[in-house]
Structure 1
Amino acid sequence: MRRLIKLDCIPKFSIDSKYKCTTCVEAKQTRSSFKSVERITEPLDIIHTDVCDLKSIPTRGGNKYFITFIDDSTRYCYVYLLKSKDEAIDKFVLYKTEVENQINKKIKVLRSDRGGEYVSPFADICAQNGIIHECTTPYSSQQNGIAERKNRTLKEMMNAMLISSGMSQDMWGEAIVSATYILNKIPFKKKDVTPYELWMGRKPSYKYLTVWGCLAKVVVPPPKVQRIGPKTVDCVFIGYAHHSSAYRFLVYDSKNPEIHNNTIMESRNASFFEEVFPCLRKELPSSSTPVDEIVHDKDQEQLEAEEVEPRRSKRQMIEKSFGPDFLTYMVEGEPQTYRDAVTSSEIPQWKETIKNEIDSILQNHTWELVDLPPGCKTLGYRWIFKRKMKADGSIDKYKARLVIKGFRQKEGVDYFDTYSPVTRITSISLVLAIAALRNLEVHQMDVKTAFLNGDLEEEIYMEQPEGFSAPGQEGKVCKLVKSLYGLKQAPKQWHQKFDQVMLNNGFKINEYDKYVYVKNTMRGYVILCLYVDDMLIVGSDDKMIKSTKDMLKARFDMKDMGLADVILGIKINRTQHGLVLSQSHYVEKILEKFNEGDTSVAQTPVDTTQHLSKNKGEGVAQLEYSRIIGSLMYLMTCTRPDLAYAVSRLSRYTSNPSSEHWKSMKRLLRYLRYTRNYGLHYGRDPAVIEGYSDAHWISDMKDSKSTSGYVFTLGGAAIVWKSSKQTLIARSTMESEFLALDKAGEEAEWLRQFVEDVPGWPKPMLAICIHCDCQSAIGRAQSAMYNGKSRHIRRRHNTIRQLLSMGVISIDYVRSKDTIADPFTKGISRELVHKSSRGMGLKPFEQVCTKENLS
C-alpha cells in the first residue's frame, strides 16, 4: 500500500503501523526464528545431552542407541552406548559421578529435548541433586542444537569410517566411540584450543593416532605364544581402549589356535599398515578391461565345472572359546533339527552341548542296544535346541535335549499315570520371605538331566540318534531302561526317584506342598523347594547346606549354582536388610516386544473413567492381545501384585477384544514402563503373616457379579495375592465382602498349615489376622447363627465360623483408605496406587539401594 501511495496510484491516507490484521496472521503465521546465543560459562555449568537412534542393526554387544553429554564451556563430549533408552538414567549417573569427581565441580544445568527417557525418574534425580533440568519447547529441537549437531557429526563420521574401511554395520558402536575420541582432540571453530586441553588442562598428543579399520599385525600375548609359527595375528584396528594406553583390535586372520577369528582384543604392541584395509571388498573389473579377458566361453565353463571336483578346505575344525568376558547375543533362531545345528554359524557350541547330552545319557545307562522284538514298534526322537539367557539379555549357555516322540504312546499300554513335580510360586515366595526374616543363605542347584534318572517299568524302544549310531550295530534299536525327555511318565518317574532319595536321607515332605522338603536336626535345618529340575536350598547353617549339596551330587548329576541369582526368571537381589525379587529384565522384553514404539508412561494401571464391556463386533488383533495377556499373567503371578486387577479385568475379553480393550491394554503397558524397576522387598520384620480382604460390588449394570481380592504379607512384602471375579451373584455389599472373606480364609488356612512344618516357627501357631473394611461382614462372621435365606452364604458362614473357632484366623476392621487390598478390586487414584504398592513391599530396586547406602 505504501508503495502504491508513493507512486501516486492511489489517494494518500494514513496507515497505522501498530495495527495487526487477524486474517493475515492466521494465513501467514510462521515459526519464530532461532538466534545464536553467546554464553560465557565454566565447565559443568551447562551440559547438553541427547539420545540418538540409528535404526540400524545392533552392535556386537546388543546396543541400539548412543547418548552424548557435551560440556557447554569446553565442548568436551562423553558418549555411551545403550541397549535401550531407559538406560539413559544409569549412564547419566555414571557420567555425573565421574566428571564431578574429576573436575571437582557440580553440574548446574542439564539441557535436553522432551524425549520419554528424560522424564521421571530422570527428572527426579536432577531435582534431588539440585540440577536444573531445562527442556526444549515441543517440536523445537533447534533449542538443543549443540547436542543435535554433535550427534549429526558423529553419525556422518561413523558412516564414512565404515564405508572407507569396509567394516560390517554391527561395528558402528566402535566407530562412534572412536569418532568422539578424535573430535575431543580437534579445535572447534570459535576457539583455537581443543576440548581436551580445556577439559584436562594439558595439550593432547597425536603421535599414537592411526587410520581406523586398517590392517594391524598384533603381537600374540606371552601365554599364547607358540615357539614355532608366526608371532603376530592379523587384526583390524577398531579404536582406543577406555582408560588404558592400548589399542582395540578385531581379529581378522589368526593362525594361532588359542586366538580365534572375529574376537576383540586389546594390546599396545602392534605394527600398522595404514594403506591396507582387509575388510574392503575386491574391486570389480573396470570398463577398460578387455571383454575377452572377462567373458569366458559358457560351454567351456560348464565342462570345467563338471570335470573339476569342488575344492574342500583341509583346515582342521577348531573349537572356539571366546573367554569369560565375551558376551554373545542371539542374532538368529534356534536350530530345528540336528542338521541345522551342525551346519549353523555356531557349530562348536552346538556340537559341544550335543556331545554333553549324549555323554550324560550313556553314563546314566539310559538305554541298551537290542534287536527289535517281533510285533513291537519303535518311537522316533527329536533334538530340541535352546539358548539360555542371563538377566541382562546375554547368552548364558547352550542346551540340547534328545526328546523321544512321546505323543505316540498309548495310555494303559505305554504309560499309566503322569504328573510333574512343580512347587507353587507361593511356596517359593514364602520360603524366600522366611530366609529374609532370619537372614538365611539361599542357594540354587540344577539337575543337568533330571528326567533321565527315573527307572522305567514299561518296555519302550527308540531309534538310534542320528550321528551317534554304534559302529557295527546300526540295525539295532534302543531299549529304554530309564526315563527320557518326552515320555509321558518321565516327570512322574523322576519325582518318585527324587522323593525316595530325599526320604532316605532324613528329609520330610511338607504335607501342603509335596515338592517342599524339610530336614531338622540338632545342628540346624534345611528347606528345599523343587521345581522340575531347579532347586532352592535354604538353610540355617552352611554345613547343613553343604551336606545337602554333597548328598545330591552323589546321587544325581548336579550343577551347583552357588547363591541363588535367578530362579524361574525371577532375579533375587540381596540387600543389607533382606531380599528383593524383581523381573525388570522380563518387563523390558515385554515392552520391547509389544510396546516398542510407545515411550509414554502412566502412573496408574487402570483408567477409572473407562468402563469395559463385552465386544459384540469384530475382534481387533485377538492373537496379539492373548499373547500380551499370557506374558503379563506370569509377571503378575510372580512379583507384581499391583497388576492383578488390571490383568484379571482385561483377560475376560481375550476371546474377542475391541479397540476399547486395546486402549486399556496400552495404558497398562505404559504403567509397566513407568514401574519397570519395581520389586518385592522382603525385610527382617514383621515376622507375622497378615492378610487383607476386599470386594467391590457390582459397578456396571451390564454385569451381575462382583470382584473380590486378597493379599497376605510377611516381612513387609506380599507373599500371595489374588484378584478375581466372583462366581456367585451377591445381592449386597455385605454379601460380596463375605464371599471375599471366605476366599481369604481359605488361603490363610493353607499358609498356616504350610508354616507349621517350617522349623523354628513359633509354637503354638498364632491365628492369621485378616483385615476387612466392611463392619457388617465382620459382624456376620462373628455371629453364631445365620438367619438369611441364601444357601451359599450359609455354607460360607459355617466355614468362616469354623476357622475362627479353631484359631486359624482372626478378623479385624480396617478403614478403607488403609487397606492394601483395595487395588485388587477396582481402579484407584495415583496416590492410593503408590500407597498400596508400598504397603505390599513393592518399590523400585534403586530406591531400596539408595536408602541402604544413606543408612
Structure 2
Amino acid sequence: MLDEMKALEKNETWELVDLPPGKQPVGCKWVFTIKQTPEGKVERYKARLVAKGYTQTYGIDYEETFAPVAKMNSVRTLMSCAVNLDWDIYQMDVKNAFLHGDLQGEVYMHIPPGFESSQTGGKVLRLHRSLYGLKQSPRAWFDRFRQSMLKRGYVQSSADHTLFYKHSNSKVAILIVYVDDIVITRDDSTEVANLKHHLAQEFEVKDLGKLRYFLGIEVSRGSKGIFLSQRKYILDLLKETGMLGCRPTATPIEQNHRLSSDAGTPVDRERYQRLVGRLIYLSHTRPDIVFAVSVVSQYMHDPKSAHMEAVNRILRYLKGCPGRGLLYTIQGNLQVECYTDADWAGSLDDRRSTSGYCAFVGGNLVSWRSKKQGVVSRSTAEAEFRSMAHDICELLWIHILLAELRLYRCKPLMLYCDNKAAIDIANNPVQHDRTKHIEIDRHFIKEKLDRGIVCLPYVTSASQVANVLTKGLPEKTFSMFCSKMGLYDAFAPS
C-alpha cells in the first residue's frame, strides 16, 4: 500500500483541496491481487487503489467512456504476416497504465482508507490523472497513448484504431495495444529500438522480449511457425468444473442436434452463463468449438437441462484435445481467402439460418464467425447469399488493414461458396422479382464483383471448410476440416 501511494504521488495523480460546494466526492478502496507467471508461480503481490466508479454520475463526473481495444482478428492477421515475412514479434507491458491518463473536468475523491489524519479532516483529493475504477479511465489512458504515438510520427489505422504504423525507406514498424499490453512487429529493427526507448521515456514500461503470452494465449515460435493455444486455460476450466476425469468425445456437438428453447427442465442460470462465457473466450484460438458455443449461447437467458448437456459435451470434447491450437506456417504469400457457408433454417425455435465464415491471410486462419441470421430466409440460396454479403464485409476490412500496412498484393479477394444458385444470382446482370427482397445485398456484392475486388469461385461441399461453423458434422469430416483450418495438437503423443 505504501509503494502504491508513493507511485501515485510521484505521478502527481492528485492534490489535497477543500471540497467545492455542490460537488460529490467518489469513494475508493484497496484491492489486493497476486500476479502469476504463465506456469502458475507467484510473480509478485500487488496492492492497488481503486476508485468506486459505481458512485459516479453520468454527465457530472464523466461523459464518454468507450475506449477501443485491439481486435483479436487484427492480432492474428499481424501474426500471419510476421510468419510469412519472417518478422520478430515483441511484447511490452505498461505499468499502471490507467494512471498515465489525463482527466478532463473536475473529479474529487475521498482520501484512501488508512491514510486519513487529523490534518486532512474535511479535505478531499482532486484527481488530475485517471485512476483504476473511474468510468473515464480507459478512454483517458488511450488518448494519452495515442497522442504519444502520433508525436512519434506513427499513423493510427482506420481499420483498427488500436493499431499504429510507421513507414520509412520501404520498411514498416507496427504496434498494436490492448489496454496495457503492447505487441510490436516490424522489418525495421532500428525503428523498433527507437520506439522502445520512446515508450520507456513516456511511460513506465516493461520489455517482455519476444511474444510468448498474450491475454491468456500461449504463443510459441519454432521452425514450423507460430503456435497459439490456451492449454492451461482449458485445463483450469476442466479442473474447476470437475471434468478432468470425464470420458472425451470426438466432436463438440451432435450431428443433426435438436436443441430448442423448451428442451428439458430449468438449471442453474448463473453457472450456465459463467461456463458459456468462459467458452466464448476460449473461441479466440479454437474455431472448432465456435458453432457449438454459438448454439448454447442462444439459451443463456433461460437454460434447460438439454442445453447444459450440450455445454458438458463441449467440455468433454476439450478434455480429449486440450493442447489443440492454431499453427501459423510459412506459405510464401499473403493471399486473402474466405470460405462462406450457411445452414438453412437450422434453428428449431424461429427457423432462422446460421451463417459461418473463416478467412485466411497467407494460408493461415485469422478470422472466423458463426452467427444466426437476423431474418428468416425462404431458400438455401437466399441464406447463402445473405451470408456471402456479410463475409465480403470482413474481406474488405482485411483488405483495408493490409493496404494500410502496404502488405496487400493486387489480387482479388477469394470468397469460396458451395452454392451455385447464390453464385449465379451474384453474377447475373438481371434483377429478378424473386430476389427483390435481398436487393441491397445483391447490389453490394455485384459492385465488388464488377470492380474486380472479389472473386466468387465455386467449391464443393466436401471441401467447404466453413461447414464446421454452421452445423454438427461426423467425426471424420470434422477432423478433416479442422486440419484444413490449421488446428494442430502440439501435445498429442506422436
What interval of TM-score do these two structures reach, taking the shorter chain for normalisation? over 0.9
Matched ranges for 1:340-351 at <5 A: none
**Aligned twin of 2:97:** 450
> Are 2:296 and 1:650 aligned?
yes
Distance 2:423 2:442 in 1: 11
Aligned-residue offset at 1:716: 3.2
Deviations 1:191-247 (A, max 9, x none): xxxxxxxxxxxxxxxxxxxxxxxxxxxxxxxxxxxxxxxxxxxxxxxxxxxxxxxxx
Distance 2:194 2:116 in 1: 40
Q: Which residue among 756, 768, 772 is the counterpart of 2:413?
A: 768
> Are 2:335 and 1:688 aligned?
yes
Q: Which residue among 805, 821, 826 is the counterpart of 2:466?
A: 821
**Aligned twin of 2:79:** 432
Deviations 1:481-528 (A, max 9, x none): 111122222222212111111111110011111110001112732111
Aligned-residue offset at 1:475: 4.9
Change (3 A) 1:737 1:595: farther
Deviations 1:72-95 (A, max 9, x none): xxxxxxxxxxxxxxxxxxxxxxxx
> Are 2:182 and 1:535 aligned?
yes
Gaps of 5+ in 1: 1-353, 851-855
**Aligned twin of 1:583:** 230
Change (3 A) 1:795 1:595: farther
Distance 2:263 2:470 in 1: 25
Distance 2:107 2:300 in 1: 41
Q: Which residue among 712, 727, 747 is the counterpart of 2:359?
A: 712
Aligned-residue offset at 1:430: 0.8
> Are 2:57 and 1:378 aligned?
no
**Conserved 8 A contact 1:382-1:402:** yes
- Which secondary structure does the structure 2 equivalent of 1:812 belong to? coil
Distance 1:590 1:406 in 2: 30
Distance 1:580 1:700 in 2: 35
Aligned-residue offset at 1:369: 1.6
**Conserved 8 A contact 1:444-1:562:** yes
**Conserved 8 A contact 2:412-2:453:** yes
Distance 1:485 1:779 in 2: 55
Q: Amino acid of the residue matched to residue 822 of structure 1?
A: N
Change (3 A) 1:756 1:762: closer
Q: Which residue among 784, 800, 804 is the counterpart of 2:445?
A: 800
**Aligned twin of 1:661:** 307
**Conserved 8 A contact 2:335-2:363:** no
**Conserved 8 A contact 1:439-1:578:** no
Q: Amino acid of the residue matched to residue 214 of structure 2?
A: I
**Conserved 8 A contact 1:693-1:770:** yes
Change (3 A) 1:362 1:610: same
Deviations 1:161-197 (A, max 9, x none): xxxxxxxxxxxxxxxxxxxxxxxxxxxxxxxxxxxxx
**Aligned twin of 2:201:** 554
**Conserved 8 A contact 1:722-1:824:** yes
Distance 1:599 1:395 in 2: 30
Q: Amino acid of the residue matched to residue 503 of structure 1?
A: L
Distance 2:348 2:224 in 1: 48
Q: Which residue among 363, 368, 375 is the counterpart of 1:721?
A: 368
Change (3 A) 1:422 1:813: same
Q: Amino acid of the residue matched to residue 433 of structure 2?
A: G
Higher relative contact order, structure no. (Cα contacts within 8 Å, ≥ 6 residues apart): 2
Matched ranges for 1:723-738 at <5 A: 723-738=370-385
Distance 2:3 2:210 in 1: 25
Change (3 A) 1:681 1:461: same
Distance 2:462 2:114 in 1: 67
**Conserved 8 A contact 1:682-1:715:** no
Matched ranges for 1:135-150 at <5 A: none
Distance 1:534 1:700 in 2: 39
Deviations 1:334-376 (A, max 9, x none): xxxxxxxxxxxxxxxxxxxx33322221111011122333443
Change (3 A) 1:407 1:455: same
**Conserved 8 A contact 2:263-2:306:** no
Q: Which residue among 131, 134, 153 is the counterpart of 1:487?
A: 134
Aligned-residue offset at 1:608: 1.2
Matched ranges for 1:585-624 at <5 A: 585-596=232-243, 598-615=245-262, 618-624=265-271
Distance 1:585 1:696 in 2: 33
**Aligned twin of 1:356:** 3
> Are 2:35 and 1:388 aligned?
yes
Change (3 A) 1:469 1:622: closer
**Aligned twin of 1:266:** none
**Conserved 8 A contact 1:421-1:530:** no
- Which secondary structure does the structure 1 equivalent of 2:2 belong to? helix
Q: Which residue among 83, 101, 106 is the counterpart of 1:459?
A: 106
Distance 1:702 1:506 in 2: 53
> What TM-score, normalized by structure 1, do the two folds share?
0.56
> Are 2:217 and 1:570 aligned?
yes
Distance 1:677 1:616 in 2: 32
Q: Which residue among 613, 634, 639 is the counterpart of 2:285?
A: 639
Q: Amino acid of the residue matched to residue 464 of structure 2?
A: T
Q: Amino acid of the residue matched to residue 415 of structure 2?
A: I
Change (3 A) 1:609 1:423: closer
> Are 2:327 and 1:677 aligned?
no
- Which secondary structure does the structure 2 equivalent of 1:411 belong to? coil
Aligned-residue offset at 1:684: 1.1
**Aligned twin of 1:746:** 393
Q: Amino acid of the residue matched to residue 295 of structure 2?
A: R
> What TM-score, normalized by structure 2, do the two folds share?
0.95
Distance 1:355 1:481 in 2: 20
Distance 1:681 1:798 in 2: 37
Q: Amino acid of the residue matched to residue 532 of structure 1?
A: V
**Conserved 8 A contact 2:92-2:183:** yes
Aligned-residue offset at 1:466: 2.8
Distance 2:143 2:341 in 1: 41
**Conserved 8 A contact 2:244-2:319:** no
Gaps of 5+ in 2: none
**Conserved 8 A contact 1:528-1:535:** yes
**Conserved 8 A contact 1:691-1:771:** yes
How many positions carry a matched residue from both structures? Answer: 493
| Identity across matched positions, percent | 35
**Aligned twin of 1:835:** 480
Aligned-residue offset at 1:470: 7.4
Q: Amino acid of the residue matched to residue 290 of structure 2?
A: A
Greater Cα radius of gyration, structure 1 or 2: 1
- Which secondary structure does the structure 1 equivalent of 2:218 belong to? strand
Q: Amino acid of the residue matched to residue 783 of structure 1?
A: N
Deviations 1:642-678 (A, max 9, x none): 1111111111122222222222222211111112101
Distance 1:669 1:723 in 2: 19
Aligned-residue offset at 1:476: 3.2
- Which secondary structure does the structure 2 equivalent of 1:710 belong to? strand
Change (3 A) 1:501 1:597: closer
Distance 2:369 2:347 in 1: 21
